[in-house]
Amino acid sequence: MAHKVFVTRKIPQEGIDMLTSKFDVSIWQSEYPPTKNEIIEMAADCQGLITLLSDPVDSELIAKLPNLRVIAQYAVGYDNIDVKEASKRGILITNTPGVLTETTADLTWALILATARRIAEADRYVRNGKWHVAWGPQLLLGIDIHGATLGIVGMGRIGQAVARRARGFDMRVLYHSRSRNDDVAAMENQMNLKPAKLETLLRESDIVSLHVPLTSETYHLIGKKEIEMMKQGAILINTSRGQVVNQEALVEALSTGKLGGAGIDVFREEPIKEDDPLLDLENVVLVPHIGSASRKTRTTMSVMCARNVIAALNNEKPPNIVNPEVF
């Protein structure tokens, strides 16, 4: 009998076609995510599960799916999955690393440019009929990106891709990272890039961009104390995870002008609540967690997920395994 696979949202068809040619596949049809209980119900007798970062794959859910052999996350981050619990039960976890690196770095740069040059605010200004004077000598002044100092917190694949793009803007780049691998060392020789303590990076950067995974160590890595260390009028960009930043401290710093602006793709709560104070601020650019959202990348992610599930259910090592000790 064919193995059963449940996919918690409609992901691009390419991956689905690969799965349906081998397995009995069911797909959640609503654009709203299934609740934990709905996932448990839909995946009750499944061997494979494809999840999104908004799915709560906790110990309760895992315990209620006794036939599960693989959970394939449709994202690189997997902080929504209790990996320890899954490993204890012999369930393989996979993700989609690499493919979304450049796409997320592109989005990071879109936010850097939009925030520093107040693009979203300027667009609202024009659309809302406020543009009455042909050219304003002091209208919507932003900060220069070229020649500025960019601080990158987390120098993994995405952090490195963001740093590479800074070359075109003649920036000085500081980075803070747990590790310094050969690729990063080579980049240090090729461009104006240096390692720095977090405090130095925060004190010296005009723009700070976050690229760390969410873990117990990075939860609220940027809070009131860290924001106070930042330059007056500096810009914060977050395309990592919302909980890496203390959102209350961020809102306060943006309201008082301590921070000049923020470009945010990821939030404490997603979707953002209607009464979230971030929505009242002019100096923020807010996008709905679209770091990896290019057609090509999302399609490749679906193919990677399918390959991971197919390998796991064929008793082969999945190409993107997160908990290899279980295999």
The residue among 53 and 262 lying less far from ligand DGY, judged by its C-beta, is: 53
Catalytic residue among 268, 289, 298, 307: 289
Residue 241 annotated among the catalytic residues of the structure:
yes
Residue 165 annotated among the catalytic residues of the structure:
no
Question: Who's near 315: CB < 8 A, 6+ residues apart?
Answer: none
Distance CA 256, CA 231 (A): 13
Asked if residue 208 binds ligand DGY (CB under 6 A), the reply is no
Distance CA 242, CA 269 (A): 7
Distance CA 320, CA 309 (A): 10
Selected from 16, 18, 68, 75, the binder of ligand DGY by CB under 6 A is 75
Residue 3 annotated among the catalytic residues of the structure:
no
Compute the least distance from the CB of residue 229 to ligand DGY, in Å.
Answer: 26
The residue among 48 and 242 lying less far from ligand DGY, judged by its C-beta, is: 242
The residue among 57 and 253 lying less far from ligand DGY, judged by its C-beta, is: 57
Contact 59, 81 (CB under 8 A): no
Over the window 4 to 43, marking each residue x when it contacts ligand DGY by CB under 6 A and - when it does not, the resulting string is: ----------------------------------------
In this structure, what token pair is assigned to residue 223?
Answer: 């809070």
Q: Which of residues 85-104 bind ligand DGY (CB under 6 A)?
A: 100
Separation in Å, CA 308 to CA 74, 248, 305, 314, 325: 11, 39, 5, 10, 16
Question: Which range, of 54-62, 69-77, 166-174, 306-314, touches ligand DGY by CB under 6 A?
Answer: 69-77
Asked if residue 171 binds ligand DGY (CB under 6 A), the reply is no
Helix (H) or strand (E) holding 199: helix 198-204
Kindly report the backbone phi and psi dihedral angles of residue 207, in degrees, each rounded to the nearest multiple of 5, phi listed first. -130, 130
Q: Which of residues 249-308 bind ligand DGY (CB under 6 A)?
A: 289, 291-292
254-259: Cβ within 8 A, 24+ apart: 254/278, 254/281, 254/283, 254/284, 255/281, 257/232, 257/233, 258/227, 258/228, 258/230, 258/232, 258/233, 259/227, 259/230, 259/233, 259/234, 259/235, 259/283
- DSSP three-state, residue 321: strand
The residue among 34 and 291 lying less far from ligand DGY, judged by its C-beta, is: 291
Catalytic residue among 241, 268, 298, 307: 241
The residue among 76 and 212 lying less far from ligand DGY, judged by its C-beta, is: 76
Selected from 53, 184, 196, 244, the binder of ligand DGY by CB under 6 A is 53
The residue among 75 and 110 lying less far from ligand DGY, judged by its C-beta, is: 75
Q: Give the catalytic positions in this structure.
A: 241, 270, 289
* Interface residue list for ligand DGY (CB under 6 A): 53, 75-77, 100, 289, 291-292
